[in-house]
Chain A
Amino acid sequence: MSDFAQIIAIAKRELYLEIRNRGRWAGLFFFAFAVLLMVAFAAPSTSVLRANAGGVLWIGLLLASTRSLDQSYAVEMEDGALEGMVLWPVRPWSLYYGKALSNTLTLLAVAFALLPLVIGICDVSVRGSLSDVVLFTALGCAGLAAPGTLYGLITAKARGSSVLLPLLYFPLVVPVILSAARGTTLVFEGDPMGQSGSWLGLLWAFNALHWSLSGLLYGRIAEDA
Protein backbone atom coordinates (compact mmCIF):
# COMPACT_ATOMS: atom_id res chain seq x y z
CA MET A 1 0.00 0.00 0.00
CA SER A 2 1.55 3.27 -1.02
CA ASP A 3 2.20 5.88 1.62
CA PHE A 4 -0.46 8.12 0.25
CA ALA A 5 -3.04 5.37 0.28
CA GLN A 6 -2.03 4.56 3.85
CA ILE A 7 -2.60 8.13 4.88
CA ILE A 8 -6.03 8.23 3.34
CA ALA A 9 -6.92 4.93 4.92
CA ILE A 10 -5.93 6.12 8.35
CA ALA A 11 -7.74 9.40 7.93
CA LYS A 12 -10.82 7.51 6.87
CA ARG A 13 -10.59 5.31 9.93
CA GLU A 14 -10.30 8.26 12.24
CA LEU A 15 -13.17 10.06 10.62
CA TYR A 16 -15.26 6.95 10.68
CA LEU A 17 -14.68 6.70 14.40
CA GLU A 18 -15.76 10.29 14.81
CA ILE A 19 -18.86 9.91 12.73
CA ARG A 20 -19.86 6.65 14.29
CA ASN A 21 -19.80 8.34 17.63
CA ARG A 22 -21.89 11.31 16.64
CA GLY A 23 -22.13 12.40 20.20
CA ARG A 24 -18.49 13.39 20.16
CA TRP A 25 -18.77 15.82 17.32
CA ALA A 26 -21.93 17.33 18.72
CA GLY A 27 -20.19 17.66 22.08
CA LEU A 28 -17.37 19.57 20.44
CA PHE A 29 -19.72 21.87 18.65
CA PHE A 30 -21.78 22.69 21.70
CA PHE A 31 -18.68 23.21 23.76
CA ALA A 32 -17.42 25.75 21.25
CA PHE A 33 -20.86 27.33 21.15
CA ALA A 34 -20.84 27.65 24.93
CA VAL A 35 -17.45 29.33 24.78
CA LEU A 36 -18.82 31.73 22.20
CA LEU A 37 -21.70 32.67 24.44
CA MET A 38 -19.44 33.15 27.43
CA VAL A 39 -17.17 35.43 25.48
CA ALA A 40 -20.17 37.40 24.27
CA PHE A 41 -21.41 37.79 27.83
CA ALA A 42 -18.00 38.81 29.05
CA ALA A 43 -17.48 41.36 26.30
CA PRO A 44 -18.04 44.97 27.30
CA SER A 45 -20.11 45.96 24.30
CA THR A 46 -21.41 44.69 20.99
CA SER A 47 -19.14 46.99 19.04
CA VAL A 48 -16.15 45.34 20.70
CA LEU A 49 -17.54 41.98 19.71
CA ARG A 50 -18.07 43.08 16.18
CA ALA A 51 -14.57 44.42 15.87
CA ASN A 52 -13.11 41.20 17.23
CA ALA A 53 -15.37 38.59 15.72
CA GLY A 54 -12.39 36.74 14.30
CA GLY A 55 -10.89 36.47 17.75
CA VAL A 56 -14.14 35.17 19.19
CA LEU A 57 -14.30 32.44 16.58
CA TRP A 58 -10.75 31.33 17.17
CA ILE A 59 -10.93 31.28 20.94
CA GLY A 60 -13.87 28.95 20.57
CA LEU A 61 -11.99 26.81 18.07
CA LEU A 62 -8.82 26.75 20.12
CA LEU A 63 -10.59 25.49 23.19
CA ALA A 64 -12.57 23.02 21.16
CA SER A 65 -9.36 21.77 19.59
CA THR A 66 -7.91 20.63 22.90
CA ARG A 67 -11.00 18.54 23.51
CA SER A 68 -10.96 17.24 19.98
CA LEU A 69 -7.29 16.29 20.14
CA ASP A 70 -7.71 14.52 23.45
CA GLN A 71 -10.64 12.65 21.99
CA SER A 72 -8.76 11.61 18.91
CA TYR A 73 -6.48 9.55 21.10
CA ALA A 74 -9.20 8.35 23.42
CA VAL A 75 -9.85 5.24 21.42
CA GLU A 76 -6.22 4.21 21.52
CA MET A 77 -5.99 4.96 25.20
CA GLU A 78 -8.54 2.32 25.98
CA ASP A 79 -7.18 -1.18 26.32
CA GLY A 80 -3.63 -0.03 25.82
CA ALA A 81 -3.94 0.21 22.08
CA LEU A 82 -1.45 3.08 22.15
CA GLU A 83 1.37 0.66 22.67
CA GLY A 84 -0.03 -1.46 19.90
CA MET A 85 0.37 1.35 17.43
CA VAL A 86 3.97 0.38 16.96
CA LEU A 87 2.86 -2.90 15.51
CA TRP A 88 0.74 -1.41 12.78
CA PRO A 89 2.07 -2.16 9.32
CA VAL A 90 2.18 1.51 8.45
CA ARG A 91 4.93 4.04 8.38
CA PRO A 92 4.86 6.37 11.36
CA TRP A 93 4.46 9.44 9.28
CA SER A 94 1.51 7.97 7.45
CA LEU A 95 -0.01 7.53 10.87
CA TYR A 96 0.68 11.10 11.69
CA TYR A 97 -0.63 12.58 8.48
CA GLY A 98 -3.74 10.44 8.55
CA LYS A 99 -4.55 11.51 12.10
CA ALA A 100 -3.63 15.12 11.50
CA LEU A 101 -5.77 15.21 8.40
CA SER A 102 -8.76 13.84 10.21
CA ASN A 103 -8.20 16.24 13.10
CA THR A 104 -8.09 19.11 10.64
CA LEU A 105 -11.32 18.02 9.04
CA THR A 106 -13.03 17.63 12.39
CA LEU A 107 -12.02 21.12 13.39
CA LEU A 108 -13.09 22.43 10.04
CA ALA A 109 -16.53 20.92 10.51
CA VAL A 110 -16.84 22.60 13.89
CA ALA A 111 -15.56 25.86 12.42
CA PHE A 112 -18.08 25.93 9.62
CA ALA A 113 -20.88 25.21 12.02
CA LEU A 114 -19.66 28.02 14.26
CA LEU A 115 -19.20 30.64 11.57
CA PRO A 116 -22.85 31.53 11.10
CA LEU A 117 -23.22 31.66 14.88
CA VAL A 118 -20.27 33.99 15.25
CA ILE A 119 -21.55 36.19 12.47
CA GLY A 120 -24.93 36.31 14.11
CA ILE A 121 -23.86 36.79 17.72
CA CYS A 122 -21.23 39.37 16.95
CA ASP A 123 -23.51 41.12 14.53
CA VAL A 124 -20.98 41.13 11.77
CA SER A 125 -21.67 42.06 8.20
CA VAL A 126 -19.28 40.14 6.03
CA ARG A 127 -17.76 42.57 3.59
CA GLY A 128 -14.93 40.43 2.34
CA SER A 129 -15.16 37.41 0.15
CA LEU A 130 -16.42 34.17 1.58
CA SER A 131 -13.66 32.20 -0.06
CA ASP A 132 -11.14 34.21 1.95
CA VAL A 133 -12.96 33.31 5.11
CA VAL A 134 -12.85 29.67 4.11
CA LEU A 135 -9.15 29.92 3.34
CA PHE A 136 -8.28 31.41 6.70
CA THR A 137 -10.45 28.91 8.48
CA ALA A 138 -8.92 25.98 6.64
CA LEU A 139 -5.34 27.10 7.21
CA GLY A 140 -6.06 27.93 10.81
CA CYS A 141 -7.58 24.54 11.53
CA ALA A 142 -4.68 22.85 9.79
CA GLY A 143 -2.29 24.96 11.83
CA LEU A 144 -3.96 23.88 15.04
CA ALA A 145 -4.13 20.23 14.07
CA ALA A 146 -0.51 19.84 12.98
CA PRO A 147 1.32 20.41 16.25
CA GLY A 148 -1.74 19.30 18.17
CA THR A 149 -1.66 15.79 16.78
CA LEU A 150 2.01 15.45 17.72
CA TYR A 151 1.65 16.83 21.22
CA GLY A 152 -1.63 15.03 21.64
CA LEU A 153 0.18 11.73 21.34
CA ILE A 154 2.81 12.79 23.86
CA THR A 155 0.27 13.91 26.40
CA ALA A 156 -1.94 10.89 25.81
CA LYS A 157 0.99 8.69 26.72
CA ALA A 158 2.28 10.81 29.55
CA ARG A 159 0.53 10.41 32.79
CA GLY A 160 0.12 14.14 33.11
CA SER A 161 -3.16 15.80 33.84
CA SER A 162 -5.38 17.12 31.11
CA VAL A 163 -3.79 20.51 31.53
CA LEU A 164 -0.58 19.32 29.96
CA LEU A 165 -1.80 19.49 26.39
CA PRO A 166 -2.98 23.12 26.55
CA LEU A 167 0.16 24.10 28.42
CA LEU A 168 2.44 22.60 25.78
CA TYR A 169 0.40 23.46 22.78
CA PHE A 170 -1.15 26.89 23.31
CA PRO A 171 2.09 28.90 23.25
CA LEU A 172 3.10 27.01 20.15
CA VAL A 173 0.03 27.98 18.16
CA VAL A 174 0.13 31.67 19.04
CA PRO A 175 1.09 32.51 15.44
CA VAL A 176 -1.91 30.55 14.18
CA ILE A 177 -4.37 32.20 16.52
CA LEU A 178 -3.02 35.65 15.82
CA SER A 179 -2.96 35.20 12.06
CA ALA A 180 -6.30 33.46 11.78
CA ALA A 181 -8.12 35.79 14.17
CA ARG A 182 -6.69 38.95 12.68
CA GLY A 183 -7.14 37.67 9.18
CA THR A 184 -10.72 36.61 9.69
CA THR A 185 -11.61 39.90 11.31
CA LEU A 186 -9.98 41.75 8.45
CA VAL A 187 -11.92 39.75 5.91
CA PHE A 188 -15.14 40.51 7.74
CA GLU A 189 -14.31 44.18 7.53
CA GLY A 190 -13.47 43.95 3.87
CA ASP A 191 -9.75 44.41 4.46
CA PRO A 192 -9.50 48.05 3.35
CA MET A 193 -5.73 48.19 3.61
CA GLY A 194 -4.93 44.83 2.14
CA GLN A 195 -3.23 43.47 5.22
CA SER A 196 -4.71 40.03 5.19
CA GLY A 197 -2.10 38.85 2.71
CA SER A 198 0.71 38.95 5.24
CA TRP A 199 -1.36 37.04 7.78
CA LEU A 200 -2.10 34.46 5.15
CA GLY A 201 1.58 34.16 4.39
CA LEU A 202 2.31 33.52 8.03
CA LEU A 203 -0.31 30.82 8.17
CA TRP A 204 1.18 29.12 5.14
CA ALA A 205 4.65 29.30 6.66
CA PHE A 206 3.47 27.91 9.97
CA ASN A 207 1.65 25.07 8.32
CA ALA A 208 4.56 24.23 6.05
CA LEU A 209 6.92 24.15 9.01
CA HIS A 210 4.80 22.13 11.34
CA TRP A 211 3.31 19.62 8.96
CA SER A 212 6.77 18.59 7.84
CA LEU A 213 8.42 18.76 11.24
CA SER A 214 5.77 16.87 13.15
CA GLY A 215 5.62 14.15 10.56
CA LEU A 216 9.33 13.57 11.06
CA LEU A 217 9.13 13.54 14.84
CA TYR A 218 6.05 11.41 15.20
CA GLY A 219 7.77 8.12 14.66
CA ARG A 220 10.04 8.68 17.63
CA ILE A 221 7.13 9.04 19.98
CA ALA A 222 5.29 6.01 18.75
CA GLU A 223 8.41 3.94 19.39
CA ASP A 224 8.83 5.04 22.97
CA ALA A 225 7.05 3.69 26.02
Chain B
Amino acid sequence: MGALGLLTLVLGQYMGLFWSPPERMMGDVGRMLFTHVPAAWISLLAYTAAFFGALTYLFTSRRGADAFIVGCIEVGVLLNVLLLIEGSLFAKPTWGVWWTWDPRLTLSAVMLLTFVGVLTLRRAVSDPDTRASWTAIASIPAYMTIILTYYSVKWWKSLHQLQSSPETVDVSMTLVLRLNAVAYLLLAIWLIAERARVAYREAKAEMPPLPPVEKVT
Protein backbone atom coordinates (compact mmCIF):
# COMPACT_ATOMS: atom_id res chain seq x y z
CA MET B 1 0.00 0.00 0.00
CA GLY B 2 2.72 2.36 0.98
CA ALA B 3 4.77 1.45 -2.02
CA LEU B 4 1.81 2.08 -4.25
CA GLY B 5 1.31 5.45 -2.68
CA LEU B 6 4.93 6.42 -3.12
CA LEU B 7 4.88 5.28 -6.71
CA THR B 8 1.79 7.32 -7.41
CA LEU B 9 3.44 10.29 -5.78
CA VAL B 10 6.42 9.96 -8.04
CA LEU B 11 4.18 9.87 -11.05
CA GLY B 12 2.04 12.72 -9.82
CA GLN B 13 4.97 14.93 -9.07
CA TYR B 14 6.72 14.12 -12.30
CA MET B 15 3.64 15.09 -14.19
CA GLY B 16 3.19 18.16 -12.11
CA LEU B 17 6.69 19.30 -12.67
CA PHE B 18 7.35 18.40 -16.25
CA TRP B 19 4.37 17.17 -18.14
CA SER B 20 1.85 19.80 -17.13
CA PRO B 21 2.30 23.08 -18.97
CA PRO B 22 2.92 26.30 -17.05
CA GLU B 23 -0.18 28.02 -15.83
CA ARG B 24 -1.21 31.18 -17.59
CA MET B 25 -0.92 33.67 -14.82
CA MET B 26 1.38 32.00 -12.44
CA GLY B 27 3.91 30.35 -14.64
CA ASP B 28 5.77 27.45 -13.17
CA VAL B 29 4.96 28.59 -9.67
CA GLY B 30 1.45 27.35 -10.27
CA ARG B 31 2.83 23.84 -10.21
CA MET B 32 3.10 24.12 -6.46
CA LEU B 33 -0.64 23.88 -6.24
CA PHE B 34 -0.26 20.23 -7.18
CA THR B 35 1.44 19.63 -3.85
CA HIS B 36 -0.55 22.11 -1.82
CA VAL B 37 -4.16 21.44 -2.76
CA PRO B 38 -4.10 17.67 -2.26
CA ALA B 39 -2.62 18.21 1.19
CA ALA B 40 -5.61 20.39 2.02
CA TRP B 41 -8.15 17.90 0.69
CA ILE B 42 -6.66 14.89 2.39
CA SER B 43 -6.04 16.56 5.72
CA LEU B 44 -9.68 17.58 5.80
CA LEU B 45 -10.62 14.05 4.88
CA ALA B 46 -8.47 12.71 7.68
CA TYR B 47 -10.12 15.02 10.20
CA THR B 48 -13.53 13.96 8.93
CA ALA B 49 -12.56 10.34 9.36
CA ALA B 50 -11.43 11.18 12.89
CA PHE B 51 -14.82 12.74 13.54
CA PHE B 52 -16.64 9.59 12.50
CA GLY B 53 -14.16 7.57 14.51
CA ALA B 54 -15.01 9.72 17.50
CA LEU B 55 -18.71 9.10 17.06
CA THR B 56 -18.01 5.39 16.75
CA TYR B 57 -16.00 5.39 19.93
CA LEU B 58 -18.66 7.23 21.86
CA PHE B 59 -21.27 4.71 20.83
CA THR B 60 -19.22 1.53 21.01
CA SER B 61 -16.25 2.25 23.29
CA ARG B 62 -14.07 0.05 21.15
CA ARG B 63 -10.34 0.54 21.50
CA GLY B 64 -9.95 0.01 17.77
CA ALA B 65 -11.93 3.18 17.22
CA ASP B 66 -9.61 5.13 19.47
CA ALA B 67 -6.56 3.78 17.65
CA PHE B 68 -8.18 4.84 14.41
CA ILE B 69 -8.84 8.34 15.71
CA VAL B 70 -5.22 8.73 16.76
CA GLY B 71 -4.02 7.74 13.33
CA CYS B 72 -6.41 10.07 11.59
CA ILE B 73 -5.69 13.08 13.76
CA GLU B 74 -1.93 12.63 13.57
CA VAL B 75 -1.96 12.24 9.82
CA GLY B 76 -4.41 15.10 9.54
CA VAL B 77 -2.09 17.31 11.56
CA LEU B 78 0.88 16.16 9.48
CA LEU B 79 -0.85 17.13 6.27
CA ASN B 80 -2.16 20.30 7.85
CA VAL B 81 1.37 21.45 8.64
CA LEU B 82 2.45 20.47 5.16
CA LEU B 83 -0.32 22.46 3.60
CA LEU B 84 0.47 25.53 5.64
CA ILE B 85 4.13 25.46 4.69
CA GLU B 86 3.25 24.83 1.08
CA GLY B 87 0.78 27.66 1.29
CA SER B 88 3.54 30.01 2.39
CA LEU B 89 5.86 28.75 -0.31
CA PHE B 90 3.14 29.47 -2.80
CA ALA B 91 2.21 32.83 -1.37
CA LYS B 92 5.66 34.33 -1.44
CA PRO B 93 6.27 34.32 -5.17
CA THR B 94 2.65 34.92 -6.12
CA TRP B 95 1.49 37.50 -3.62
CA GLY B 96 4.79 38.67 -2.27
CA VAL B 97 4.05 37.76 1.33
CA TRP B 98 4.72 34.69 3.44
CA TRP B 99 1.33 34.77 5.02
CA THR B 100 -2.06 36.18 4.26
CA TRP B 101 -5.33 36.08 6.12
CA ASP B 102 -6.95 34.29 3.25
CA PRO B 103 -9.95 32.48 4.72
CA ARG B 104 -8.80 29.04 3.78
CA LEU B 105 -5.27 29.45 5.06
CA THR B 106 -6.54 31.03 8.24
CA LEU B 107 -8.96 28.17 8.70
CA SER B 108 -6.09 25.74 8.21
CA ALA B 109 -4.15 27.43 10.96
CA VAL B 110 -7.12 27.30 13.31
CA MET B 111 -7.77 23.65 12.45
CA LEU B 112 -4.17 22.83 13.18
CA LEU B 113 -4.34 24.43 16.59
CA THR B 114 -7.59 22.68 17.39
CA PHE B 115 -6.33 19.22 16.66
CA VAL B 116 -2.90 19.76 18.15
CA GLY B 117 -4.86 20.71 21.24
CA VAL B 118 -6.65 17.37 21.16
CA LEU B 119 -3.34 15.54 20.81
CA THR B 120 -1.91 17.52 23.72
CA LEU B 121 -4.91 16.56 25.79
CA ARG B 122 -4.13 12.92 25.19
CA ARG B 123 -0.71 13.34 26.70
CA ALA B 124 -2.18 14.79 29.86
CA VAL B 125 -4.32 11.76 30.59
CA SER B 126 -2.85 8.51 31.82
CA ASP B 127 -5.83 6.20 31.97
CA PRO B 128 -6.37 4.77 28.49
CA ASP B 129 -10.13 4.54 28.67
CA THR B 130 -10.51 8.10 29.89
CA ARG B 131 -8.02 9.24 27.31
CA ALA B 132 -9.94 7.59 24.52
CA SER B 133 -13.23 8.92 25.73
CA TRP B 134 -12.01 12.46 26.14
CA THR B 135 -10.27 12.47 22.80
CA ALA B 136 -13.51 11.51 21.16
CA ILE B 137 -15.46 14.07 23.15
CA ALA B 138 -13.02 16.86 22.41
CA SER B 139 -12.87 16.00 18.72
CA ILE B 140 -16.54 16.44 18.11
CA PRO B 141 -17.07 20.12 18.83
CA ALA B 142 -13.62 20.68 17.34
CA TYR B 143 -14.67 19.24 14.05
CA MET B 144 -18.04 20.86 13.98
CA THR B 145 -16.65 24.30 14.50
CA ILE B 146 -14.65 24.01 11.32
CA ILE B 147 -17.58 25.01 9.18
CA LEU B 148 -18.52 27.97 11.34
CA THR B 149 -14.93 29.07 11.52
CA TYR B 150 -14.68 28.91 7.79
CA TYR B 151 -17.64 31.19 7.32
CA SER B 152 -16.63 33.59 10.01
CA VAL B 153 -13.17 34.02 8.55
CA LYS B 154 -14.56 34.32 5.08
CA TRP B 155 -16.87 37.14 6.09
CA TRP B 156 -14.12 38.73 8.12
CA LYS B 157 -11.98 39.13 5.08
CA SER B 158 -14.89 39.71 2.71
CA LEU B 159 -12.72 38.47 -0.05
CA HIS B 160 -14.69 37.36 -2.99
CA GLN B 161 -13.08 34.18 -4.10
CA LEU B 162 -13.53 32.11 -7.11
CA GLN B 163 -13.69 28.57 -5.87
CA SER B 164 -12.04 26.65 -8.61
CA SER B 165 -14.23 23.91 -9.94
CA PRO B 166 -13.15 21.39 -12.52
CA GLU B 167 -15.02 23.24 -15.22
CA THR B 168 -12.80 26.24 -14.90
CA VAL B 169 -9.65 24.21 -14.76
CA ASP B 170 -7.83 23.04 -17.79
CA VAL B 171 -8.17 19.31 -18.28
CA SER B 172 -4.49 18.57 -18.22
CA MET B 173 -4.26 20.21 -14.85
CA THR B 174 -7.26 18.49 -13.33
CA LEU B 175 -5.72 15.18 -14.17
CA VAL B 176 -2.44 15.99 -12.48
CA LEU B 177 -4.24 17.43 -9.50
CA ARG B 178 -6.38 14.36 -9.09
CA LEU B 179 -3.39 12.10 -9.53
CA ASN B 180 -1.52 13.85 -6.78
CA ALA B 181 -4.61 13.76 -4.63
CA VAL B 182 -4.88 10.02 -5.11
CA ALA B 183 -1.21 9.70 -4.22
CA TYR B 184 -1.74 11.63 -1.01
CA LEU B 185 -4.83 9.63 -0.23
CA LEU B 186 -3.06 6.31 -0.63
CA LEU B 187 -0.18 7.48 1.48
CA ALA B 188 -2.52 8.83 4.12
CA ILE B 189 -4.46 5.59 4.30
CA TRP B 190 -1.26 3.64 4.62
CA LEU B 191 0.11 5.89 7.36
CA ILE B 192 -3.15 5.96 9.27
CA ALA B 193 -3.35 2.18 9.14
CA GLU B 194 0.22 1.83 10.39
CA ARG B 195 -0.24 4.35 13.14
CA ALA B 196 -3.55 2.86 14.21
CA ARG B 197 -1.98 -0.58 14.34
CA VAL B 198 0.70 0.65 16.71
CA ALA B 199 -1.82 2.54 18.80
CA TYR B 200 -3.98 -0.54 19.05
CA ARG B 201 -1.07 -2.65 20.19
CA GLU B 202 -0.27 0.01 22.74
CA ALA B 203 -3.82 -0.09 24.00
CA LYS B 204 -3.83 -3.87 24.29
CA ALA B 205 -0.52 -3.80 26.13
CA GLU B 206 -2.02 -1.44 28.66
CA MET B 207 -4.87 -3.74 29.46
CA PRO B 208 -4.12 -5.84 32.51
CA PRO B 209 -3.49 -9.49 31.68
CA LEU B 210 -6.40 -11.83 32.22
CA PRO B 211 -6.03 -14.13 35.21
CA PRO B 212 -4.97 -17.64 34.24
CA VAL B 213 -7.83 -20.05 33.64
CA GLU B 214 -8.04 -22.67 36.35
CA LYS B 215 -7.97 -26.23 35.14
CA VAL B 216 -10.99 -28.17 36.24
CA THR B 217 -9.89 -31.49 37.65
For residue B152, which residues in chain A have a CB less than 8 angstroms away from its CB? 174-175, 178-179, 202
Interface size class of A (residues with CB under 8 A): 35 or more
- Tell me which of B114, B120, B129, B134 contacts A172 (CB under 8 A): B114
Interface size class of B (residues with CB under 8 A): 20 to 34
The yes or no answer to B100 lying at the interface (CB within 8 A) is: no
Minimal Cβ-Cβ distance residue in B for A182:
B156
- Tell me which of B110, B120, B134, B144 contacts A167 (CB under 8 A): B120
The yes or no answer to B153 lying at the interface (CB within 8 A) is: yes
Minimal Cβ-Cβ distance residue in B for A163:
B120
Find out whether the CB atom of B141 lies under 8 angstroms from the CB atom of A213.
yes
For residue B210, which residues in chain A have a CB less than 8 angstroms away from its CB? none
Find out whether the CB atom of A154 lies under 8 angstroms from the CB atom of B121.
yes
* B117, B123, B126, B140: most-surrounded residue (chain A CB, <10 A): B117
The yes or no answer to B56 lying at the interface (CB within 8 A) is: no
* B116, B129, B130: most-surrounded residue (chain A CB, <10 A): B130
Contact stretch, chosen from A13-21, A62-70, A118-126, A214-222: A214-222
Distance (whole angstroms) from the CB of A181 to the closest CB of chain B = 9
- Tell me which of A167, A214, A224 contacts B141 (CB under 8 A): A214
Would you call the interface of chain A mostly helix, strand, loop, or mixed? helix
For residue B145, which residues in chain A have a CB less than 8 angstroms away from its CB? 171-172, 174-175, 206, 209-210
- Tell me which of A172, A199, A221 contacts B142 (CB under 8 A): A172
Find out whether the CB atom of A213 lies under 8 angstroms from the CB atom of B124.
no
Find out whether the CB atom of B121 lies under 8 angstroms from the CB atom of A202.
no
Type the 1/0 row for A150-163, where 1 means its CB is closer than 8 Å to any CB of B.
11001100111100
Find out whether the CB atom of A217 lies under 8 angstroms from the CB atom of B137.
yes
For residue A37, which residues in chain B have a CB less than 8 angstroms away from its CB? none
Find out whether the CB atom of A225 lies under 8 angstroms from the CB atom of B114.
no
Distance (whole angstroms) from the CB of A139 to the closest CB of chain B = 13
Contacting A at CB under 8 A, from B119-166, are 120-121, 123-127, 129-130, 133-134, 137-138, 140-142, 144-145, 148-149, 151-153, 155-156
- Known A164-B124, A175-B151, A217-B141; 13 more pairs at CB < 8 Å: A151-B138, A154-B137, A160-B123, A167-B116, A168-B121, A169-B117, A175-B149, A178-B156, A182-B155, A202-B151, A202-B155, A210-B141, A220-B137
Could you jot down 21 A-B contacts, CB within 8 Å? A154-B134, A160-B124, A164-B124, A167-B116, A167-B120, A168-B117, A168-B138, A171-B110, A171-B145, A172-B142, A174-B145, A175-B152, A178-B153, A199-B155, A202-B148, A210-B145, A214-B141, A220-B58, A220-B137, A221-B133, A224-B130
